[in-house]
Amino acid sequence: MAQLALKLPANVEGDFFVDSTCIDCDACRVFAPTVFSDEGDQSTVFHQPESDAERLAAEKALISCPTASIGTAAKHDMRAAVAGLPELVADDVYRCGYTSEDSFGAVAYLVEGKFLVDSPRFAAPLVKNIERLGGGRWMLLTHQDDVADHQKFRDHFGLERVLHRDDVRSHTAKVERQPSGLDPVQLDNDLGRDLLMIPTPGHTKGHAVYLYRDTFLFTGDHLAWSPDRGHLYAFRSACWYSWPEQIKSMVRLLDYRFQWVLPGHGRPVNLPAAEMRASLERCVEWMRRR
């Protein structure tokens, strides 16, 4: 649990705080962007919740913190926050919360009754709520870094896992489906063309993104929104395999239509398809200048 004695000095005074164990994963800023902000290499509370909605969002961020670095001075009834995770994004898509330190706090997603994208913590309240939402048939892993408790979810739900072969390591050797190459892969005949795996080497050699219903693009560590730049971007400082290959992967995404970018790290965004394409083109231009 977060400790008041380790409270970061940059926190504004009030109930919620972040302590010095924060690893700056960004999860709290995704769940409660009006409460938490980035202060150097860690998150802090820049605005104490004023409304019930802000308080609930901050409580979800507290539950979702992978290092238990968020605390409150007062005792909270967390039942509403627990019941609210996974949190609805849009349609049948949810963000799970309960991020894992093993995945450096990467946000995982659930499509109701169908699949998970990457692995959250295998926490009993989350598992119960996923069961209530119909469980799933697949676990789609974007890359080797964000697999966390994949085996526990496999054992509990019987999920068929998918991971590009170039990212298979000893801890993912038992993954059931391991596509290879650069060609997109249609994953589920029952969903028609609703679910597509698109290899996107760059961040890692076997990184892939997943396109659902030509609307939702689950991007792992490949692509996110930058509020400061005002366009989509990639993590130049966290490219572990090849920046030139990541640029090529980004260019290939221009062949697809989507309206949501839902990353593991970084900010999500929802734009009309034409605006999303224009933002992706700006991203490619930006990447070529790095």
pLDDT of 34-58, one tens digit each?
Answer: 999 998 899 999 999 999 999 999 9
Q: Are residues 106 and 11 in the same domain?
A: no
Last residue of a domain, one of 20, 53, 75: 75
265: Cβ–Cβ under 8 A, 6 or more apart, which residues? 25, 26, 104, 105, 106, 107, 221, 224, 235, 238
Q: What backbone phi and psi angles, to 5 degrees, belong to 137?
A: -110, -25
Residue range 17-27: average pLDDT? 96
Do 231 and 169 reside in the same domain of the chain? yes
Domain boundary (51, 75, 99) is at 75
288, containing H or E segment: helix 273-289
pTM: 0.96
Q: Which CATH number fits the domain that encloses residue 200?
A: 3.60.15.10
pLDDT tens, residue by residue, 167-222? 999 999 999 999 999 999 998 755 556 899 999 999 999 999 999 999 999 999 99
Q: What is the span of the domain harbouring residue 196?
A: 84-289
The answer to whether the Cα torsion of 203, 208, 212, 213 is positive or negative is positive
Q: What is the overall mean pLDDT for the chain? A: 96
pLDDT per residue as tens digits for the range 99-148: 999 999 999 999 999 999 999 999 999 999 999 999 999 999 999 999 99
Give me the number of domains the chain comprises: 2
Q: What is the 3-state secondary structure (H, E, C) of 82-111?
A: HHCCCEEEECCEEECCCCCHHHCCCCCEEE
Same structural domain for residues 188 and 71?
no
Are residues 129 and 48 part of one domain? no
Last residue of a domain, one of 57, 75, 93: 75
**Nearest CA among 131, 20, 10, 118 for reference residue 70:** 20
DSSP state of 15: S
The CATH number of whichever domain residue 14 belongs to comes to 3.30.70.20
